[in-house]
Amino acid sequence: MQITNRIHFRNVRGDLFGGVTAAVIALPMALAFGVASGAGAASGLWGAVLVGFFAALFGGTPTLISEPTGPMTVVMTAVIADLTAANPEQGLAMAFTVVMMAGVFQILFGALRLGKYVTMMPYTVISGFMSGIGIILVILQIAPFLGQASPRGGVIGTLQSIPQLLANIQPAETLLAAMTVAIIWFMPGKIKRLVPPQLIALILGTVVSLILIPDLDIRRIGEIPMGFPAMQMPTFNVDQLRLMTVDAAMLGMLGCIDALLTSVIADSLTRTEHDSDKELIGQGIGNVMSGLFGGIAGAGATMGTVVNIQSGGRTALSGLTRAAVLLVVILGAANLTEVIPLAVLAGIAFKVGVDIIDWSFLKRAHQVSVKGALIMYGVILLTVLVDLIAAVGIGVFIANILTIDRMSQFQSRSVKTVTDSDDAVLLSANEKRWLDEANGRVLLFQLSGPMIFGVAKAISREHNAIQTCDAIVFDLSDVPHLGVTASLALENAIREAVEKGRQVFLVGVSGQTRQRLDKLKVLHLIPPQHLHTDRGEALKQAVDMIMASPSIDARLDYDAPATT
């Protein structure tokens, strides 16, 4: 079994250049996300190093660049705010423990081979969820964008504090933040291909703050400890354990979705195929190590991954190179970041939030599907105003219910009953002849396609519509799967037919369908000679039997008591 990621040295130049380029992009993003999360710039940098290194070493996507991302930062911000509010002394240590727990969840997901199911969600839910996270990130940058500390209460608290924030606006810091957004937004494409706009905005914003407005009291990053960070031992609080577990599960699941969606993008660019389960294990190890040394959570980053690939990166060596470059920066040049204005980092994070919003689908969702658009808007509102887990859970539930309803309506059309040679069922010449000779006394009950639980209603409806017939041929030749609910509906139809004295024949019962009916003891109700593999033979036998005996109506009339 291969433990580490695929590393070879046939593309050393491309991998080294890709890693260095990705590191240049990662530096301002790590600083911005670290500050935005509330853990500090150092935590963002160490998260970028540790998650990036171990995910590259143990993951399943050779070109994936892993680091703190916008979605992960949004959740991390809420985790830190909740835990520090509940326990000011140990809240931050507990938040780093949540990062470790999230990594453990990811390792479990990978070990249980759940990777292929993680992203199996409707696009309307994913789009609404990501757009909601983008909106949250934008809202959380309002206070630092205006030159003030973020108010308590997260999104709701920030929205409620907007009048106060506007009243106390710091023009110089707001100008720096706006300049940062403008540089990133309007930088020509030719320059973007040479130097990341985030880095240029970071440098220019810092230089402007030092040269043009040196006398103003501008909030800056401050001192970042040089050297390796101290180990953060897992810290638990019994009162907060349930909240920590829920937060860890949410953080771990979001990291899985974020990473695997980026892995799909990497596959499309490199024409390769990643290992989802292995990638989840690598992401989990990276987050465990990040939390252990005071770093924030991370996941696969689309921007860094795309730049890495476009710069020549093809193996995990590129991700390891990127982590090494960032490590050198932290250990040798951390003091250079002390003077970076927080407003500049707020501008960078603000632009990331805007980019996360799925503008393309927002503009045309209502044209594609009105129901899909409503689901997406609902998920956005739930994500921003209520809870991320509730947003995904409710969104997936509603989307699946609507999908099941559509599939059930479609599949219900394949439940048909005929007593003569009409066009409802495609019949051979002999089959038409047998039904015509039966003169309505033989009913063909045909099922086709997978019989999911939504089809049970159609089976019961057709069954209840049966008036008078002497024999029923249930044709299951085209049923590859028979669900439990549909099985019970079919069982009721067969049992009632037998109890009323009708001759029952089964056609094409095999595989999973036969096992299901056998476990329900349905096959015990039917004579072995009434089980057929050919529908024509079953119809012929049914016609021969009913022609040799009076009809059910005649028997009922004969058995009825005489009246005077």
What's the pLDDT score for residue 119? 72
How confident is the model over 241-267, as pLDDT tens digits?
A: 999 999 999 999 999 999 998 999 899
- pLDDT tens, residue by residue, 469-488: 889 999 998 888 888 888 99
Residue type, 191: I
Same domain, 193 and 314: yes
Kindly state whether residues 211 and 62 are assigned to the same domain: yes
Question: Over 70: is that where the pLDDT of 147 sits?
Answer: yes
Q: Is residue 399 part of a domain?
A: no
Inside any domain, residue 6: no
- From CA 56, how far away is CA 316, in angstroms rounded? 5
Q: List helix spans (H) across 112-170.
A: 115-118, 123-140, 142-145, 154-160, 162-167
320, 355, 390: which is the final residue of a domain?
A: 355
Of 204-218, 338-352, 411-425, the range with the highest mean pLDDT is: 338-352
CA distance 518 to 441: 28
| Residue 450 CB partners (closer than 8 Å, separation 6+) | 411, 479, 480, 481, 483
Q: For residues 282 and 60, is the Cβ–Cβ distance under 8 A?
A: yes
Indicate which CATH number applies to the domain containing 447: 3.30.750.24
Q: Confirm whether 471 is domain-assigned.
A: yes
Predicted confidence (pLDDT) per residue in 354-373, tens digit: 998 999 999 998 888 898 89
- Residue 440 has what pLDDT? 81
Residue 132 forms part of a structural domain: no
Same domain membership, residue 468 and residue 322: no
Return the pLDDT at 557: 52
Which of 328, 355, 382 lies at the terminal end of a domain, its last residue?
Answer: 355
Residue 456 included in any domain: yes
Residue 26: pLDDT band (50, 70, 90) is very high
Task: Tell me the C-alpha to C-alpha distance, in Å, between residue 349 and each of 182, 193, 194, 209, 331.
Answer: 13, 21, 21, 18, 24
Q: Which of 114, 164, 156, 117 is nearest to 139 (CA)?
A: 156
Q: Residue 563: its pLDDT value, please? A: 46
Q: Which helix (H) or strand (E) holds 269?
A: helix 241-270
341: β partners: 220
Judgement on whether residues 451 and 527 belong to the same structural domain of the protein: yes
- Three-point CA angle 443, 464, 426, nearest 5°: 35
- H-helix segments, 342-387: 342-356, 359-368, 370-385
The pLDDT value recorded for residue 564 is 40
Is residue 553's pLDDT more than 70?
Answer: no
pLDDT in tens, 262-317: 999 899 888 888 999 999 999 999 999 999 999 999 999 998 999 999 889 999 99
Clarify whether residues 188 and 312 are in a common domain: yes
Instruction: Look at residues 514, 515, 470, 461 and name the one whose alpha carbon lies nearest to residue 492.
Output: 461
pTM above 0.85, yes or no: no
The pLDDT, as a whole number, for residue 550 is 63
The reply to whether 303 and 426 lie within a common domain is no
421 versus 282: which is more confidently predicted?
282
* Nearest Cα to Cα of residue 351 among 252, 154, 205: 205
Are residue 551 and residue 460 in the same domain, yes or no? yes
Over the stretch 493-539, which tens digit does the pLDDT of each residue have?
888 888 888 899 999 998 888 999 989 888 888 999 999 998 889 99
Amino acid in position 360: S
pLDDT at 562: 46
Residues 223 and 301 in one domain: yes
Residues 184 and 426: their CA atoms lie apart, in Å, by 64
* 440 phi-psi bin (left φ>0, alpha ψ -120 to 50, beta other): left
Q: What is the number of structural domains in the chain?
A: 2
- Unique residue bearing structure tokens 């309307």: 124
**Within a domain: residue 164?**
no
Same domain, 319 and 181: yes
Provide the mean pLDDT of the chain: 88
Same domain for 421 and 305?
A: no
Rounded-to-integer distance, Cα 197 and Cα 24, Å = 10
Q: Are 342 and 429 in the same domain?
A: no
Q: Is 408 among the domain residues?
A: no
- Please give the residue range of the domain that contains residue 555: 416-559
- Per the model's pLDDT, the better-predicted residue between 467 and 45 turns out to be 45
Neighbours of 101 (CB within 10 A): 22
Check pLDDT > 80 for residue 348.
yes
Helix%, strand%, coil% for the chain, nearest 5: 65, 5, 25
- The DSSP letter of residue 477 is E
- By the 10 Å C-beta count (0-12 exposed, 13-18 middle, 19+ buried), 559 is classed as exposed
**339 and 217 co-located in one domain:** yes
Q: For residue 174, name the pLDDT band (cuts at 50, 70, 90).
A: very high
Number of CB atoms found within 10 A of residue 242's CB: 9
DSSP letters along 102-128, please? HHHHHHHHHHTT-HHHHT-S-HHHHHH
pLDDT value, residue 432: 85
The pLDDT > 90 percentage for the chain reads: 49
Q: Is residue 507 part of a domain?
A: yes
- Choosing from 330, 355, 380, the residue where a domain stops is 355
